[in-house]
Amino acid sequence: PGRGTSFVVELPAMVGTPATGVVGSATDERGQGEHILLVDDDAGTLEAVRQVLLEHGYRVSAFADGTSALAAYQADPSHFAVVVTDQVMPVMTGDELVAALRRAGYAVPAIVLTGFSERLTPALAAERGIAAVLAKPVAHRALLHALRTFLAPSPAG
The domains of the chain, with CATH numbers, are 31-137 (3.40.50.2300)
| Bridge partners, 82 (sequence order) | 36
Compute the 3-state secondary structure of the chain and give helix, strand, coil in percent, each to the nearest 5: 35, 15, 50
Q: What are the backbone dihedrals phi and psi of residue 72, each rounded to the nearest 5 degrees, phi first?
A: -65, -40
pLDDT at 2: 67
Helix-helix angle 140-151:43-55, to 10 degrees: 60
Q: Which residues of the chain have pLDDT under 50?
A: 11-27, 157
Helix H or strand E encompassing 43: helix 43-55
pLDDT in the model for residue 19: 40
pLDDT at 15: 45
State residue 113's pLDDT score. Answer: 95
Sign of the dihedral through C-alpha 54, 59, 64, 66: negative
* pLDDT confidence of residue 55: 97
Q: Which of 85, 81, 101 is nearest to 152 (CA)?
A: 81
Burial label, 137 (beta-carbon count in 10 A; 0-12, 13-18, 19+): exposed
DSSP summary character for residue 121:
-
Q: How much is the pLDDT for 1?
A: 60
What is the per-residue pLDDT for 124?
83
The pLDDT value recorded for residue 66 is 98
